[in-house]
Each structure stands twice: as C-alpha cells, then as structure tokens.
Amino acid sequence: MVSRVIPVDPFDLVIFGATGDLARRKILPGLYRRFLGGQIPDEACLIGAARASLSDDQFRAQIEAAIAEFVDPAKRDPAQIARFLRCVRYVAIDATGEEGWAQLKALVRPDRVQAFYFSVAPTLFGALAERLHKHEIANSEARIVVEKPFGRDLASARALNGTLAAHFDEHQIYRIDHYLGKETVQNLMAVRFANILFEPLWNAQFVDHVQITVAETVGVGGRGAYYDKSGAMRDMVQNHLMQLLCLIAMEPPYHFDPDAVRDEKLKVIRALDPLTSEDIVRGQYVDARGKSYVDDAENPASRTESYIALRCHVANWRWKGTPFYLRTGKKLRARTSEIAVVFKEPPHSIFDDDTGWRENMLVIRLQPNEGMNLKMMIKEPGPGGMRLVQVPLDMSFADALGEEGADMPDAYERLIMDVIRGNQTLFMRGDEVEAAWAWTDPIIAGWEATKARPQRYDAGSSGPEDALMLMHRDARRWREIRE
C-alpha cells in the first residue's frame, strides 16, 4: 500500500499557551511528527506565544525536550529536529494586555494560511480573538482552534460562541474534540457509508442495542481541581461520547462535506429523549490502598462523578426502540475505548436451542489496538453434528494495513493538518455544542437539585454494581472491560 502524505500549503501557526501541558504533550510533538512525515513544508512558521519571557532558542529547547519525552525514539532524528526547529519562533505575549502583539504582527505573514491555536483557558478566548482582530493580525480566512471545555452549560457555551462570532465567522472556528481525530472514529464513517453490507441492517429492526465504552485506568490526580467542577458528564459524555453516538446513529450525509456531516450529527443530538434518573448511574472510585476520588479532588464532600453509565434513546424512525448504552470512568480495570453494535437474533432459528447461538456483533475498537471485529456464527469444525461457534472476523488496522496501519498519526496531528487544509468535517460546529449542552443541562441540574451522591466503586473494577443492573434490567450485559 502506498502512503499518501499530501503536503499542506505553507502556513503560519501561532500556538497561544505554547509552554502549557497540551502543547508540550500533544501539539508540538505532533507537529514534529507531521514534519518528519513530509507534510509540513520548510517555509511554514510555528510561533509559540505565552506569558513567559523566552528567547526563540529557549523555546526551541523546550520543544526538543518535548520531542525527547513524547516522540518514539526511532523517530528522533537530530538532523530532522534541527530542520524542524528552524521554522520555530517565540513571542512573549500578554493575552489580556497589549504587550507582545506588535511583535506577533511582525511575524505572522498576511498572505499565508494562518492558524491561531488557543491552547489556553476558555476565559482568555475572547481577549485573544479581540486582539487578533484589533491588531489586524488575522486575515479574513484565518482559522482559530479552540479546545474543550467549550462552556460548562448551554448559557456559557452560547456566550462563548457569541464572543468568538464577534471576530470570526463560523467557517473560521475549529472546535476540537480529539476523539473525532482518532483513526477508527473516521473509519466508522467509511465502514458505514462505503460498504453496502451494514447500512441495510443499521436500524432498530436489526440492531438490538449499541454499547459505547470509554474506560480509563488513570484517576484525576494532578487535575482534580478542574475535574471536580466537571465530572464525567461534562468532561467526557457531553463531547466525546456524544460525538461517537452521533457517528453511529446519524443518517447518511449527502456528501462527505463538513456541513453535510455536521447537519446529520446535530439531528441525532436533537432527537435524544430526555433522561430520567432510572437511566443513569454515577460513581466515584475508592481505592482501598491509596487515594480515593475525593482525595485526588481534594474535596472530601465532593459529589462529582468519576464514572457514569447511561441509557438513552434516539427518537426517530431509524432508532425507535433501540437503546444506546454509554459508559465512561476513571480508574477502571483497563484502558479501552470501543463501540459495540449488537444485532438481533435471526427471526427463526433452524438449529436446536443447545447449539450455542450467540448474537452477531460489530465491535469498533478505538484504543488500544485500533480495528474492527465482526463476530459471526459458524459451524464448529469437526464431526459430532451441528454445533455453532462464534468467531471473530478480525481486522486490526496494524495487521491489515502493515506498517502504515501501525504508524497512524495521532488525533491531534491529523486535526491540526485539517485546520491548515481548511477542512472542518472533524470539528464541532457551534450549534452542535449548544445542542449537546441543551441535552445534558437538565440532567446535571437534576443531580444538583437532589444533591445526589455518586455510588462508590473499587478502583480497578468495572464500575459500580448498579451500572451492571442498568443493563441487567433490560436483559442485556455490558461487554467486559479489557485491553
């Protein structure tokens, strides 16, 4: 298979918050990897901007350290790193004041593709947008990239959208949900819409239910202050899990085009039925040996959930009667993210009851070992009559696609390149984000009103007991959480 790396046009990318954690862990190492992959032209310019007063060389040294920490040793080529760093500059800037803006203006070229990555607290988005405009740094096609959390409820998301809209058009705003940059997530669209096999079965008549799991082994230590104000609902469900749900449940867009795709996703969110307390289980981890959630959050009275499981319904013709079960949590048994589409029984079985029938299932693994797995029934080989056995039709991307499959760009790399290309398909539109908050707001308000406490679950387990019951009551079972 021939690798198709399509270089992007020369660009100037300004990273606000360039000395922060996200830049260090993801953005800068990701840009280096794309450079190494031949996608970033030498004439591109990466400009770090942050409060710290650093020289270009001091910032380059920080990037080198980030590459040493976060890039695979096999890809750390000193000559290439030196070439990459040649296109790096740094400006000390005051986001809410006037310092540094003239220097930035002198560096950003007006006739280039321009991108401004706001890797800063959302409270600074407005100040940055305003100054880029006021100092006439951004051209009319400049792109701004903003990170989650995009608001903490509908009102704040609307206010944020309003602030950005005062200076940039919607087609210039790239709201990142890094789950949309994961290889398998995009493959989900390819599998659904480039094959005839699944689409005829992709509805309530044939799909019994869908399970979406994003399980993590890490706790919230180190970021407890942020997390305790969010919880799993705001941190994971309102964005990542709902985006996955949209891609599974949406109607085929008329074209693989940003607005066509996002229109269909928006319809799914709008079609979600409101939830009742029966549909939700919240949990907080407790570690017998060490720290519990409340210790990590440094808030002994915390009622914030580090785990959530819920059952929801997409109220439209396609999905009437098919439940979608979503769960995500910290400190669970294994780190695994997957979507399982579980099909119904054939209408009539010609085999005896004891032959070992099990349901067909399409499992889409986001991480680790990205790939897809279709569970099928076949006859167990050998003599002894008709016994059935479930076998996986396994397509691990690393195996199926060889080296290319093993060397897929990380979500951030892909998304940043899409920003430069001006492709918004994998970014959330303002109305999508607002619709997602409109659905989650009443749920969160319900917990706040009743002062509901999450259930405790053991760190390293699969989550609270009641989450098992949530499916049990419907005569269904969660898939095991394992790598």
Looking at the annotation, which residues are catalytic? 240
Q: What residues have CB less than 8 Å from 131, skipping those under 6 apart?
A: 95, 101, 137
Q: 440 in the Ramachandran plot: left (φ > 0), alpha (ψ -120 to 50) or beta?
A: alpha
Instruction: Compare residues 59 and 412 and give the one whose CB is closer to ligand BG6.
Output: 412
Q: Rounded CA gap, 433 and 416, in Å?
A: 20
* Three-state secondary structure string covering 126-157: HHHHHHHHHCCCCCCCCEEEECCCCCCCHHHH
Instruction: Compare residues 126 and 224 and give the one whose CB is closer to ligand BG6.
Output: 224
**Least gap, CB of 439 to ligand BG6 (angstroms):** 18
Q: Would you count residue 418 as binding ligand BG6 (CB under 6 A)? A: no
**Least gap, CB of 216 to ligand BG6 (angstroms):** 5
Q: Would you count residue 216 as binding ligand BG6 (CB under 6 A)? A: yes
End-to-end CA distance of the chain: give it in Å, rounded: 28
Nearest position to ligand BG6, beta carbon = 235
- Which residues within the stretch 174-193 sit at the binding site for ligand BG6 (CB under 6 A)? 178
**Least gap, CB of 3 to ligand BG6 (angstroms):** 24
Which helix (H) or strand (E) segment holds residue 364: the answer is: strand 361-367
- Which residues within the stretch 144-173 sit at the binding site for ligand BG6 (CB under 6 A)? 148
**Least gap, CB of 102 to ligand BG6 (angstroms):** 35
Q: Rounded CA gap, 8 and 34, in Å?
A: 10
- Number of helices (H) and strands (E), helices first, in the chain? 18, 15
Q: Select from 228, 235, 305, 413 the one that contacts ligand BG6 (CB under 6 A).
A: 235
Q: Rounded CA gap, 60 and 90, in Å?
A: 9
**Least gap, CB of 232 to ligand BG6 (angstroms):** 8
**Least gap, CB of 296 to ligand BG6 (angstroms):** 12
Instruction: Compare residues 35 and 227 and give the one whose CB is closer to ligand BG6.
Output: 227
Instruction: Compare residues 81 and 237 and give the one whose CB is closer to ligand BG6.
Output: 237
Q: Identify whether the C-beta of residue 41 lies closer than 8 Å to the C-beta of residue 7.
A: yes
Size of the site for ligand BG6 (CB under 6 A): 5
Instruction: Compare residues 10 and 221 and give the one whose CB is closer to ligand BG6.
Output: 221
Query: What is the Cα gyration radius of the chain?
Result: 24
**Least gap, CB of 235 to ligand BG6 (angstroms):** 5
- Which residues within the stretch 326-345 sit at the binding site for ligand BG6 (CB under 6 A)? 337
- Residues paired with residue 342 on neighbouring β-strands, in sequence order: 209, 361
**143-146, strands of its sheet edge to edge:** 88-92, 45-50, 11-16, 113-118, 143-146, 173-175
Give the type of residue at 295.
D
Q: Rounded CA gap, 96 and 31, in Å?
A: 27
**Least gap, CB of 417 to ligand BG6 (angstroms):** 18
- Which residues within the stretch 267-286 sit at the binding site for ligand BG6 (CB under 6 A)? none
What is the sign of the dihedral through the CA atoms of 320, 430, 155 and 412?
positive
Instruction: Compare residues 27 and 88 and give the one whose CB is closer to ligand BG6.
Output: 27
Instruction: Compare residues 12 and 216 and give the one whose CB is closer to ligand BG6.
Output: 216
Instruction: Compare residues 216 and 338 and give the one whose CB is closer to ligand BG6.
Output: 216
Q: Is 396 helix (H, G, I), strand (E, B) or coil?
A: strand
Which helix (H) or strand (E) segment holds residue 409: the answer is: none
Which helix (H) or strand (E) segment holds residue 397: the answer is: helix 397-400
Q: Give residues in contact with ligand BG6 (CB under 6 A).
A: 148, 178, 216, 235, 337
